């Protein structure tokens, strides 16, 4: 099982490294991040996921603050 985990880790790290290389090449060749973001948002609707995550994070923070600021009985 350790060997399988190591293989998966190597594949994931290689994919992340390839992603960094692609972003680096894009920056070097003059890519505009606004255009890249808008293209990704059109295809994957990133703004909706970001909004959902933000709402969820606020709900979690509000729940924790209610628990820790509740008056002691």
Helix ranges, 29-70 (H): 33-44, 46-69
The answer to whether the CB of 60 falls within 8 A of the CB of 66 is: no
Residues 39-50 pLDDT 10s: 888 988 988 999
In this structure, how many other beta carbons lie within 10 angstroms of the beta carbon of residue 4? 8
pTM, to two decimals: 0.49
**Residue 2 pLDDT > 90:** no
**Residue 6 pLDDT > 90:** yes
**pLDDT in the model for residue 49:** 92
Residue ranges covered by each domain of the chain: 1-31, 33-73
**pLDDT in the model for residue 72:** 63
**Residue 1 pLDDT > 80:** no
């Amino acid at each position: 099982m350790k060997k399988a985990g190591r293989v998966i880790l190597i594949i994931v790290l290689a994919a992340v490294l390839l992603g960094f290389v692609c972003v680096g090449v894009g920056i070097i060749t003059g890519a505009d991040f606004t255009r890249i973001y808008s293209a990704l948002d059109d295809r994957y609707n990133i703004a909706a996921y970001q909004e959902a995550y933000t709402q969820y994070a606020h709900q979690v923070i509000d729940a924790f603050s209610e628990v820790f600021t509740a008056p002691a009985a």
